[in-house]
Amino acid sequence: LRAHCAPVTVDNGVVIGSVTAFEDISTHKEIDRMKSDFVAMVAHELKSPLASIEQMIYALQIGCEHESGAACSTMHNRITVRTRDLLSMIDNLLNLSKMENGTVEFNLEPIRGHEVLDHILDVITLQAKNRGITITYNPSEEEWWFNVDYDHIRSACMNIISNAVKYTPDGGKVDISTSISGGFANIVVKDSGIGISKEDLPHIFDRFFRVKGKATRHITGSGLGLSLVKEVVDAHQGYIEVNSELEKGTTFTLSFPITPQPAMEEKATIESQ
Ligand code: ADP
């Protein structure tokens, strides 16, 4: 409690008492504490990849005089990957804070569902191939449209699909399918990866949350991807479902309300027939 005191005086200036108002500041304190926890968390998350980049640059400076070209190029690759991780984490953070302040702009337009997935698959299939991961894609027979911000939806779907690849050991499988039911389009991403325990599952959408353990130790990430996915899905009146079993795999389902096929598209389809 914070006390605000004021003296009560009479006409001749003599103090005859005081008035005290008590203000409950526990909520302010809690918000202040959350803000400083958040700043500490961000500082920590930025510091560790930067420290490792600095070490690698140092090792490169010393090592390149003695090491082979191959060793130097591996080091260069690691620096590139860590820098990209860092940039994507900063992008995610900026987007998250914009979404929270309500300053993010969602430019909604009718988008063909299959178009979003086709673009993502082009990128991800190549990455998966390098690790011997098979990606299968079963789009719904029927075409569907949803009224969405293309960039945000693409990044949400990309986060889910790239996580599926990232958390699946080499040689595994990722199955992607889409379906329509009850006015919603469902995007289902099923992997044969490391899975998530029952204890960790409720926390995966929290900022900076990453499962700690042997299976995830060597996988890089910021723990921001899924919190961003959740914000994007909520902003589009969609919902997310997750089912997972340790060492068996995980299935994420993103569902979004569908909209009728736009008139222009209808015309283009009729003309092309
Ligand atoms: P990160 O940048 O760490 O991948 P995310 O917010 O995308 O952060 O995910 C949070 C955590 O949830 C991850 O660190 C990982 O432990 C877990 N996770 C997310 N997707 C999967 C998945 N498909 N399989 C297993 N674990 C997953």
Ligand 1 pocket, mutate which of 166, 204, 216 (most atoms under 8 A from CB):
204
**Is the CB of residue 249 below 6 angstroms from any atom belonging to ligand 1?**
no
Within 13 A of 190's CA, how many CA atoms are on the CB side?
12
Mutation to probe ligand 1, out of 226, 230, 250, 252 (largest number of atoms < 8 A from CB)? 226
DSSP code at position 262: P
Looking at per-residue pLDDT, the higher value among 45 and 263 belongs to 263
Return the exposure string of 28-59: e unless at least 16 CB atoms fall within 10 Å of the residue's CB, then b.
eeeeeeeeeeeeeebeebeeebeeebeebeeb
Ligand 1: does its nearest atom lie under 6 Å from the Cβ of 153? no
Nearest to 189 by CA among 131, 128, 148: 128
Q: Is residue 93 lining ligand 1, measured as CB closer than 6 Å?
A: no
Cβ of 250 closer than 6 Å to ligand 1, yes or no, is: yes
Looking at residue 75, its pLDDT comes to 83
204 close to ligand 1 (CB < 6 Angstrom): yes
Q: Which of 199, 208, 210, 247 to mutate to test the pocket of ligand 1 (most atoms within 8 A of CB)?
A: 210
Residue 254 has pLDDT above 60, yes or no: yes
Ligand 1 atom at shortest distance from the alpha carbon of 189? 23
- Among the listed residues 193, 182, 203, the one whose alpha carbon sits nearest the alpha carbon of residue 258: 182
Burial (CB < 10 A; 0-12, 13-18, 19+), residue 87, is exposed
pLDDT at 66: 66
Q: Tell me the pLDDT tens digit for each residue of 191-237.
A: 999 999 999 999 999 988 999 999 998 888 888 899 999 999 999 99
Mean pLDDT of the region 115-142 = 91
- Evaluate if residue 270 carries a pLDDT over 60: no
Q: Does the beta carbon of 155 lie inside 6 Å of ligand 1?
A: no
Mean pLDDT over the full length of the chain: 87
Tell me, using a 6 A CB cutoff, whether residue 229 lines ligand 1. Answer: no
Regarding the beta carbon of 209 and ligand 1, being less than 6 Å apart is answered yes
Q: How confident is the model at residue 154 (pLDDT cuts 50, 70, 90)?
A: very high
Share of the chain above pLDDT 70, in %: 94
pTM of the model: 0.76
Protein residue with its CA nearest to atom 23 in ligand 1? 164
